Amino acid sequence: MHIITIQESFLDVIQDVEAGKVTHENIWVARRDTSNEEHQEYYDVTVLMKEGKLAFTSDTAPASYLKFQQNGHRQFTVDIADELGSHVYHLRFPDSKLNLGLRGSKISTSAILPDGTRLLIGTDAGNIMQYDTTTTRLVSEIKNAHLADILQIVVLPSSQVMMSVGLDLQTKLWPVTSGAVNLPARIFLAQKGQITDIAIIDRGRNFLTASVDGSVDLWECSTAQVVSEFRRIGGLKDPVTCIALAEGLPVKPELTVGGDLLHGCSKSLVFVGYKLGTIQQYSVAGHYQTGTRLQRPVEVTLLHVEGGYLVSGYADGLLRVYEMKLNQETKEGQSEDLTHSYYDLQLNPNFPIEYASVSSKKQGLSIVVSNGPELLLQVDFDGADFCYTQLVGLSELFRIVLIEKNGSNLYVATENDIAHY
């Protein structure tokens, strides 16, 4: 697989040439093969106006030619020919970037309110900040929300409440407000290891947290109680890396575990990804391990359920899409997800699949996924095949900390800024 990197100011150069500020200007483009990360090719490209149109020229070896073409709003193709033939790469640049000017700290995670008006930022200093997405104005700040890095922020469906997960092993409940906030509404403490993922069930009265101690805890929000704990039979201490909720048939009331502490859980199934490569499914309300188990000998790093598919990512850069069927009822009264086929896309094997946003489209899925430094892809899956566009225009050696889609807006958070595509 080839990875293209390009000068961050590429679009600024184009604007200067089109506006006549300069007659021409050079930018650089680099290409490397994931099979040999140490080898990288650099190309100089001259941007100029030719017969009233934007033109790109390059005579840089080792390519016999390099050709740019603009084919949409902030979208380009670059065609590089060498001794092995012609290679066409599709590139997309962000519409805008928000530099929040964080002094002495870095972005560690982020979230967007469902209406898209507020951006929530967690930092490696343990602070939570809320910004207006239109003006980038700081609306509110919770200082020392956690004692260390904030690992995840999720907004409950009401948009009035958020949860934060910290490196301090705590999960906290906060109001989403423009006013001053000093103390959390709730603190949830139970797991003995770092919390790796969180999933909100229904309206948020129950939620799940996963931990490197091998547990997945089901919580009741108002009492801050653990309703039940899930551990994989045959791997009780296998660290949990990620979780994803799905929906099946309801568990019969007499077979539920948790009584009055369960709210909207009767249809909930949870896929749990483990460090040793297992993906195991559980019934949330029934508190049992179902027969659905998927296995690869590589750490599972990402799980998403969307549109009849289970999307999984692995530490060796493999993106796998399972097709799911919810059509079999067990004797306990709960449906099982029967995964009968899957489709693979091998990305950079030197780095794990890290973050993704998955959404349904008319046929298949749209997956925006990060895979190590400098590789951010928009992958389109049509139910059988993959094609992808590389999202570029971020700072060099960027590290993604979150990808989130809000309607037609895509937000990508790095340690230093937020890109809007």
Q: What is the pLDDT of residues 340-363, one digit of tens each?
A: 689 999 999 999 999 999 999 989
Of 36, 62, 92, the residue that ends a domain is: 92
User: pLDDT tens-digit profile of 209-220?
Assistant: 999 999 999 999
Q: Which domain holds residue 231?
A: 191-353
pLDDT of residue 177: 86
End-to-end CA distance of the chain: 24
Across the beta sheet with 268-274, the strand order is 240-247, 268-274, 278-283, 288-295
Residue 329 has pLDDT above 60, yes or no: no
Are 345 and 212 part of one and the same domain?
yes
The domain boundary residue, chosen from 353, 380, 396: 353
Residue 186 covered by a domain: no
Q: Is the dihedral of CA 231, 234, 239, 243 positive or negative?
A: negative
Say how many CA atoms lie within 13 Å of 350 toward its Cβ: 14
Nearest to 204 by CA among 247, 235, 167, 160: 160
Beta pairing partners, 210: 197, 216
pLDDT tens digits for range 197-244: 999 999 999 999 999 999 999 999 999 999 999 999 999 999 999 999
Confidence at residue 84, expressed as pLDDT on a 0 to 100 scale: 61
Same domain, 68 and 196: no
Over residues 164-192, mean pLDDT: 89
In this prediction, residue 57 carries a pLDDT of 84
CA neighbor of 274 nearest in space, from 294, 289, 257, 260 = 294
What is the rounded average pLDDT of the residues 316-342? 71
- Per the model's pLDDT, the better-predicted residue between 317 and 373 turns out to be 317
- pLDDT value, residue 82: 72
| Higher pLDDT among residues 328 and 249, named by residue | 249
Q: What is the pLDDT of residues 37-82, one digit of tens each?
A: 777 888 888 999 998 888 888 876 655 678 888 888 899 999 888 7
- Angle ∠(148,149,154) on CA atoms, nearest 5: 125
- Is 331 a residue whose pLDDT tops 50? no
Residues 338 and 213 in one domain: yes
Mean local confidence (pLDDT), 249-272: 92
Q: Quick one: 201 and 334 in the same domain?
A: yes
201 and 342 co-located in one domain: yes
Task: Give mean pLDDT, residues 317-346.
Answer: 73
Residues 233 and 349 in one domain: yes
Residue 340 is predicted with a pLDDT of: 67
Does residue 333 have a pLDDT over 80? no
Average pLDDT, the chain: 89
Q: Indicate if 83 and 198 belong to the same structural domain.
A: no
Nearest to 406 by CA among 359, 373, 365, 374: 359
**Residue at 371 is within a domain:** no
pTM for this one? Answer: 0.91
Number of domains in the chain: 2
- Identify whether 231 is part of a domain: yes
Report yes or no on 42 lying in a domain: yes
Residues 237, 348, single domain; the answer is yes
Residue 142 lies in a domain: no
- What is the pLDDT at residue 330? 52
In a domain, 30, yes or no: yes
Q: What CATH number is associated with residue 342? A: 2.130.10.10
3-state secondary structure 128-151: EEEEECCCCCEEEEECCCCCCCEE
Domain finish residue from 353, 371, 404:
353
More confidently predicted of 124 and 417: 124
* Residues 304-331, mean pLDDT to the nearest whole number: 85
Please give the residue that has the higher pLDDT: either 58 or 10: 10
The DSSP symbol for 17 reads: H
Per-residue model confidence (pLDDT) at position 219:
96
pLDDT higher than 70, residue 190: yes
Q: Does any domain span residue 165?
A: no
Q: What is the pLDDT of residue 81?
A: 82
Which pLDDT value is given to residue 63? Answer: 58
Q: Which of 157-171, 253-267, 270-284, 393-407 has the lowest mean pLDDT?
A: 393-407
Residues 75 and 202 placed together within one structural domain of the fold: no
Give me the pLDDT at residue 228, please: 95
Residue 374 lies in a domain: no
Q: What percent of the chain has pLDDT over 70?
A: 95
